[in-house]
Structure 1
Amino acid sequence: IHLLVGGTLIGVGMVVAGSCPGTVFVQMGSGLQNSFITCLGAICGVLFYYAFLFKRLTKDEVPKSSIALRQLPELTGIKRIYLNFMFGSIFIGTAFVLEHFVPYKSDLVTPKGLHSLVGWSPVLCGIGIGSLQLFFMMLFKKSLGISTGFTVLVAQLCRMRFFKKLIPSLEPFAYGVQNSLALLFALGAIGGSFISTVSTNQFPLSEQYGAGVWSSFFGGFLLSLGARCAGGCTSGQGISGVTHLLIGSLIATAGMFGGGMLFAAGYGFITKDWLFRAL
């Protein structure tokens, strides 16, 4: 249940804030003003989760026989390599088909060179992000994930005795190499985005690309709260978990996009604001 609910919260948060947990850092690097408010909302979401929900949601250990902990090859009896190839082919094929009918370049001015290219192919960028999974596994022996960066950032408060006693469940995230890597990855996203927008003369990114103040804050709150409930975000569950063909990750990812689509459709029907300008 917590995987589906957490995923749905992330989906709603993505619509409200116009971002996902990882994109928050990218938007901050590009100078999008309200992205810092989204980050503040995400920090509050982490504090709320570990202060009020963590003990309640983790008091009962998930049985090892739970379907959420199993992998698709176990349930289907099909070899992993075949399933990986099938899923990969479907996703990449769909991306190329969509790109063919709705080319991203139709919204861009033809650049003079690579350095002035204000948008890269979504297909190639997606493949690049997915390839980071191999990089993380080979060098750091861990899966790709970025929402933990918010938790590690907030956990630094536990270096002070008051917060350590107030929210002891956050302390494990305050130290350790793995936690430092999560924070460095988030900082790297900020740095990379900054370099990209500055080199294309787009810094700071116009406010027209961001959500309103309250939408940014509330959306950020939902993003991090959902990510903690689901045990990961669009990168941790959506990329890494689905790569490993984990049933729980498939459930969480379905919740993210299904919840986001249903919320967007409901919002559009009620307000007739299909471009979400009021958010």
Structure 2
Amino acid sequence: MKYRGIHLLVGGTLIGVGMVLAGSCPGTVFVQMGSGLQNSFITCLGAICGVLFYYAFLFKRLTKDEVPKSSIVLQQLPELIGVKRIYLNVMFGSIFIGTAFALEHFFPYKSDLITPKGLPSLVGWSPVLCGIGIGSLQLFFMMLFKKSLGISTGFNVLVAQLCRIRFLKNLIPSLEPFAYGVQNSLALLFALGAIGGSFVSTVSANQFPLNEQYGAGVWSSFCGGFLLSLGARCAGGCTSGQGISGVTHLLIGSLIATAGMFGGGMLFAAGYGFITKDWRFRAL
């Protein structure tokens, strides 16, 4: 892409706004579906529409130019500043994990499990330990499948199955590569595994199905899902593909996309709260 840096930033920002609207990132859409959260299926529908929109109207336009190999977005931070990778990985890893444990100490996650009257108490695992576990999946994927962790591709693969129908195959040919192949099957299986794991976890905690009180509204879910998948395609990855895998490799492009995700989400949330005074996003 000719202006890949802009695409990364804009795509990341769209993901951030989508996360605020839907109360989910692309990966946790599948988790919410497994927990029986009603409007998560609407979020998934919005994400499917986002994929169709991207490949029908934007794909050819945004990918007509190759990114020069010298582009800064393809470089890694260690190469850029001349510091050994191991030093930066250890430094950033220690900072992030240390910050997570510090936040957990001062703001225990169990305080977020308090529920409104009339609803059953929520059960949760330590987000710090869960975060470390999710990050460790990167090593598992690289060693076993020779690929990085990423889940938004699951929506591509899901939608691409429609390309088996000749009419749609001719209408959106750019989706056909996602319809076949082992790597695509793995992406879909990973998404299905997230649904299954969430279902088992929620049922074992006697929380299934999660009350709709914990989810976003119908239109917020749909629009959020649409922006999540559209942004993920523009940025070439989502919170897992760019935020976990790309940042793990200290890719400049991934750092740009991730900054867009959280910066865009924070600014949108602040703007929404300032205008509506609905700081808890009840109207969404």
Instruction: Figure out how many residues of one structure are paired with residues of the other and give that number.
Output: 279
- Are the equivalent residues in 2 in contact too, given 1:72–1:247 (CA < 8 A)? yes
1:5: Cα distance to partner? Answer: 0.1
1:201: Cα distance to partner? Answer: 0.7
User: Matches of 1:106 and 1:184 in 2, distance apart?
Assistant: 34
User: Matches of 2:139 and 2:119 in 1, distance apart?
Assistant: 26
Structure 1 residue runs of 5 or longer lacking an equivalent are: none
User: Matches of 2:116 and 2:145 in 1, distance apart?
Assistant: 37
User: Matches of 1:115 and 1:274 in 2, distance apart?
Assistant: 24
User: Matches of 2:225 and 2:252 in 1, distance apart?
Assistant: 26
Residue 35 in 1 paired to residue 40 in 2? yes
Q: In the alignment, what sits opposite 1:140?
A: 145
User: Matches of 2:227 and 2:250 in 1, distance apart?
Assistant: 26
Deviation per CA, 1:42-82: give whole Å up to 9, x if none. 00000000000000000111111100000001101000000
The structure 2 residue matched to 1:104, chosen from 105, 109, 113, is 109
1:106: Cα distance to partner? Answer: 2.9
- Are the equivalent residues in 2 in contact too, given 1:3–1:252 (CA < 8 A)? yes
CA separation of 1:221/1:194 partners in 2, compared to 1, >3 Å: closer, same or farther?
same
Deviation per CA, 1:220-264: give whole Å up to 9, x if none. 000000000000000000000000000000000000000000000
- The normalised TM-score by structure 1 is 0.97
- Are the equivalent residues in 2 in contact too, given 1:116–1:200 (CA < 8 A)? no
- Are the equivalent residues in 1 in contact too, given 2:156–2:178 (CA < 8 A)? yes
Give the share of equivalent positions with the same residue, in percent. 93
Structure 2 residue runs of 5 or longer lacking an equivalent are: 1-5
- Are the equivalent residues in 1 in contact too, given 2:16–2:261 (CA < 8 A)? yes
- The normalised TM-score by structure 2 is 0.95
Q: Which moved more, 1:116-125 or 1:1-10?
A: 116-125
User: Matches of 1:131 and 1:115 in 2, distance apart?
Assistant: 32
1:111: Cα distance to partner? Answer: 19
Once superposed, which parts of structure 1, at least 4 consecutive aligned residues long, lie more than 3 Å away? 107-117
CA separation of 1:76/1:210 partners in 2, compared to 1, >3 Å: closer, same or farther?
same
- Are the equivalent residues in 2 in contact too, given 1:115–1:200 (CA < 8 A)? no
1:114: Cα distance to partner? Answer: 21
- Are the equivalent residues in 2 in contact too, given 1:108–1:119 (CA < 8 A)? yes
User: Matches of 2:120 and 2:270 in 1, distance apart?
Assistant: 38
Deviation per CA, 1:104-150: give whole Å up to 9, x if none. 12344899999999200010000000000000000000000000000
User: Matches of 1:108 and 1:269 in 2, distance apart?
Assistant: 26
User: Matches of 1:116 and 1:261 in 2, distance apart?
Assistant: 28
- Are the equivalent residues in 2 in contact too, given 1:4–1:252 (CA < 8 A)? yes
Deviation per CA, 1:134-171: give whole Å up to 9, x if none. 00000000000000000000000111111110000000
Q: In the alignment, what sits opposite 1:164?
A: 169
- Are the equivalent residues in 2 in contact too, given 1:49–1:228 (CA < 8 A)? yes
User: Matches of 2:29 and 2:35 in 1, distance apart?
Assistant: 10
SS in 2 for 1:78: coil
Deviation per CA, 1:181-203: give whole Å up to 9, x if none. 00000000000000001111100
User: Matches of 1:3 and 1:159 in 2, distance apart?
Assistant: 30
User: Matches of 1:116 and 1:13 in 2, distance apart?
Assistant: 27
User: Matches of 1:179 and 1:217 in 2, distance apart?
Assistant: 25
User: Matches of 1:43 and 1:111 in 2, distance apart?
Assistant: 32
RMSD over aligned Cα atoms? 2.9
CA separation of 1:128/1:117 partners in 2, compared to 1, >3 Å: closer, same or farther?
farther
- Are the equivalent residues in 1 in contact too, given 2:10–2:260 (CA < 8 A)? yes
User: Matches of 2:238 and 2:225 in 1, distance apart?
Assistant: 12
CA separation of 1:108/1:115 partners in 2, compared to 1, >3 Å: closer, same or farther?
closer
